[in-house]
């Protein structure tokens, strides 16, 4: 079981590494969106500090969403997905591997970039640490929940816009607790409650999402 | 195989359900009209004026039924979606897609009447109160469902994809609801709350319940009408639809 997950992760990572431009593009999308906000709302440090958690988290949601179509589209186009669906291993397990690989490629870079962008928003040390930690805990949930949307919109007309319509409402709890944890740190309440709930969401999302995703993939492959 | 006493699946086929729905629709319209007239009469003519809110509160007779129906219809939609996935009935998927526009309509009505009510009472069209926000998200979920079904050409695939989305949504609705509630209450105490005084005048309650029944009957009638249209559209290649249409001409 672990071997098949590892094999899927390894394969997806190898494919992603051959197309590094995609990863870098998503990272720069994140950076650009975040950098637009000070230009839009003005450079006062106090205001930026208040906006930082929300802005970084919303940008992370959008950046994750942009990279979601790649999750299954290439495999669908060249027929790999059908072979994976026929494999003796449960499809949900293969999906779990792909979700983990997606997080390593699309989620982890955002976590690593976040402290740098947080400094631009004049966040203090502890808020920076909580921001990074919350993204580290929360982004797996984004990959998991997003996989459902990616599978449902596979090969569908206007897939990209539709994907955002389906996935973004489901991302709301992650956004609330993710940004809330940083807010709580800034106001001196302590982030524990938010981070625990975020961890619960991430575990639940990554654990349960592969089943509906696998069901949706089978519908798409019919 | 022995014949069961009641054949539960008799009306699970469009062939048998189409005429049944046709017979039921006038009844539900009649009930909707009766309940609506009664409810609105009580609501606008008989119910006493509210001590604090004056006459403006009377929008409650549309607002509360619309909010209840928008949530209830989502559950019914998810129920039909689950039945459709489990038993592979064509009709269940049709029911789910027939219900979605009505649910979206009620969610929109609830937000719209809420805004109209909020302006004179709270002095603002919109506040980011937990209940308002979760109703807005419910509208988003309906729109996502309708958009997904609209963009898939094969109706069977659209049904199944929609069903998965509806079920994922139904698992998520409580999570979203509570997260939104905590989001607002963790920051500050709600400055405005929708909770009314517990001792609501009995007539007001009756008016509201009758209006809810009217909305309920309306939803059933309109969903049945829509499902009949969907049936004709999807089954147009079958013999029974051809015969039906030939009779009409």
Q: E strands, A33-141, where?
A: none
Are A61 and A168 within 8 A, CB to CB?
A: yes
CA distance A212 to chain B (A): 7
Looking at residue B188, what is its pLDDT? 41
CB-based burial label for A68 (10 Å; 0-12, 13-18, 19+) = buried
Q: Give the closest residue to A152 by CA, choosing from B164, B153, B98, B93.
A: B164
**Rounded Cα distance, B111 and B104, in Å:** 11
**Rounded Cα distance, B97 and B159, in Å:** 8
Are B162 and B81 within 8 A, CB to CB?
A: yes
**CB atoms A177 and B179 under 8 Å:** yes
Percent of chain A with pLDDT over 90: 51
**Rounded Cα distance, B186 and A135, in Å:** 20
Q: pTM here?
A: 0.86
Looking at residue A60, what is its pLDDT? 94
Query: Is B144 near chain A, with CB under 8 Å?
Result: yes
Q: Around Cβ A206, how many Cβ atoms within 10 Å?
A: 19
Where do runs of H (alpha helix) occur along A68-191? 70-77, 80-86, 91-102, 108-120, 125-152, 159-186
- Nearest-CB residue to A162 (from B141, B147, B169): B147
**CB atoms A215 and B180 under 8 Å:** no
Query: Rounded to an integer, what is the distance from CA A106 to the centroid of its chain?
Result: 7
Query: Is B147 near chain A, with CB under 8 Å?
Result: yes
Buried b (16+ CB within 10 A) or exposed e, B55-86: eebbbbbbbbbbbbbbbbbbebbbbbbbbbbe
CA distance B141 to chain A (A): 7
Query: Is B155 near chain A, with CB under 8 Å?
Result: no
**Rounded Cα distance, B163 and A57, in Å:** 30
Q: Which residues 127-166 of A have a C-beta within 8 angstroms of B?
A: 148, 152-153, 156-159, 162, 165-166
- Nearest-CB residue to B165 (from A157, A159, A166): A166
**In this prediction, does ipTM exceed 0.90?**
no
Looking at residue B199, what is its pLDDT? 53
CA distance A17 to chain B (A): 32
Query: Is B5 near chain A, with CB under 8 Å?
Result: no
- The pair of three-digit structure tokens given for residue B60, joined into one six-digit string: 């409650």
Are A110 and A27 within 8 A, CB to CB?
A: yes
CA distance A201 to chain B (A): 9
Site of tokens 């969106």: A33
Site of tokens 């509570």: B178
- Nearest-CB residue to A165 (from B144, B164, B171): B144
**CB atoms B144 and A222 under 8 Å:** no
Longest CA pairwise span in chain B (Å): 68
For residue B151, which residues of chain A lie inside 8 Å, CB to CB? 153, 156-159, 162
**Rounded Cα distance, B164 and B179, in Å:** 22
For residue B168, which residues of chain A lie inside 8 Å, CB to CB? 148, 170, 212
| Low pLDDT (below 70) residues in chain A | none
Q: What would the pLDDT profile of A65-87 be if each residue is shown by its tens digit? A: 988 988 898 888 888 888 888 88
CA distance B80 to chain A (A): 17
CA distance A187 to chain B (A): 10
> Taking chain B (249 residues) in consecutive chunks of 10 residues, what is each chunk's mean pLDDT?
63 82 90 91 79 75 89 92 87 90 94 86 79 86 92 88 91 79 56 49 82 93 92 84 78
For residue B88, which residues of chain A lie inside 8 Å, CB to CB? none
What sign does the dihedral A213-A216-A218-A220 (CA atoms) show?
negative
Query: Rounded to an integer, what is the distance from CA B31 to the centroid of its chain?
Result: 17
Query: Rounded to an integer, what is the distance from CA B148 to the centroid of its chain?
Result: 18
- The pair of three-digit structure tokens given for residue B194, joined into one six-digit string: 């929708």
CA distance B172 to chain A (A): 7
Q: In a 3-state reduction of DSSP, which class is residue B186? A: helix
Site of tokens 């956004």: A175
Best residue in A65, A160, A170 for a mutation probing chain B (most B CBs within 10 Å): A170
Q: Which helix (H) or strand (E) holds B110?
A: helix B90-122
Query: Is B140 near chain A, with CB under 8 Å?
Result: yes
For residue B183, which residues of chain A lie inside 8 Å, CB to CB? 176, 180
Looking at residue B215, what is its pLDDT? 93
Looking at residue B192, what is its pLDDT? 44
Looking at residue B190, what is its pLDDT? 39
**Rounded Cα distance, B9 and B87, in Å:** 10
Best residue in B151, B159, B167, B187 for a mutation probing chain A (most A CBs within 10 Å): B151
């Amino acid at each position: 079981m672990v071997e098949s997950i590892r094999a899927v992760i390894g394969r997806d990572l190898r494919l992603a590494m051959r197309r590094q431009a995609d990863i870098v593009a998503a990272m720069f999308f994140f950076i650009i969106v975040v950098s637009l906000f000070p230009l839009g709302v003005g450079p006062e440090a106090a205001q930026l500090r208040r906006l930082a958690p929300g802005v970084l988290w919303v940008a992370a949601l959008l950046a994750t969403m942009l990279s979601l179509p790649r999750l299954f589209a290439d495999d669908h186009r060249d027929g790999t997905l059908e072979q994976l669906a026929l494999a003796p291993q449960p499809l949900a397990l293969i999906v779990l591997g792909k979700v983990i690989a997606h997080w390593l490629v699309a989620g982890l870079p955002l976590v690593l970039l976040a402290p740098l962008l947080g400094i631009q928003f004049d966040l203090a040390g502890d808020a920076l640490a909580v921001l990074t930690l919350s993204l580290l805990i929360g982004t797996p949930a984004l990959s998991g929940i997003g996989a459902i949307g990616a599978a449902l919109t596979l090969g569908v007309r206007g897939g990209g816009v539709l994907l955002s319509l389906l996935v973004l409402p489901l991302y709301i709890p992650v956004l609330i607790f993710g940004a809330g944890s940083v807010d709580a740190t800034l106001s001196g309440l302590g982030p524990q409650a938010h981070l625990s709930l975020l961890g619960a969401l991430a575990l639940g999302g990554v654990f349960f999402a592969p089943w509906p995703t696998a069901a949706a993939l089978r519908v798409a492959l019919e | 195989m022995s014949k069961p006493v009641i054949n539960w699946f008799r009306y699970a086929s469009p062939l048998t359900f189409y005429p049944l729905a046709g017979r039921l629709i006038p009844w539900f319209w009649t009930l909707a009209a009766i309940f609506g007239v009664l409810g609105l009469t009580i609501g606008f003519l008989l119910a006493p004026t509210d001590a604090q809110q004056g006459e403006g509160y009377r929008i409650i007779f549309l607002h509360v039924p619309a909010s209840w129906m928008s949530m209830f219809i989502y559950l019914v939609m998810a129920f039909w979606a689950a039945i459709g996935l489990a038993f592979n009935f064509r009709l269940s998927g049709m029911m789910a897609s027939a219900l979605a526009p009505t649910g979206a309509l009620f969610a929109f009505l609830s937000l719209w009447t809420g805004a109209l009510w909020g302006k004179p009472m709270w002095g603002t069209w919109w506040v980011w109160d937990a209940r308002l926000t979760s109703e807005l998200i419910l509208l988003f979920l309906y729109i996502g469902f309708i958009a997904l079904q609209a963009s898939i050409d094969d109706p069977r695939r659209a049904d199944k994809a929609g069903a998965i989305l509806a079920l994922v949504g139904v698992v998520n609705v409580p999570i979203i609801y509570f997260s939104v509630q905590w989001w607002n209450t963790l920051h500050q105490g709600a400055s405005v709350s929708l909770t009314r005084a517990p001792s609501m005048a009995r007539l007001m309650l009756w008016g509201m319940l009758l209006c809810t029944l009217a909305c309920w009957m309306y939803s059933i009638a309109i969903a049945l009408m829509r499902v009949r249209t969907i049936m004709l559209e999807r089954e147009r290649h079958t013999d029974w639809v051809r015969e039906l249409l030939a009779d009409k001409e």
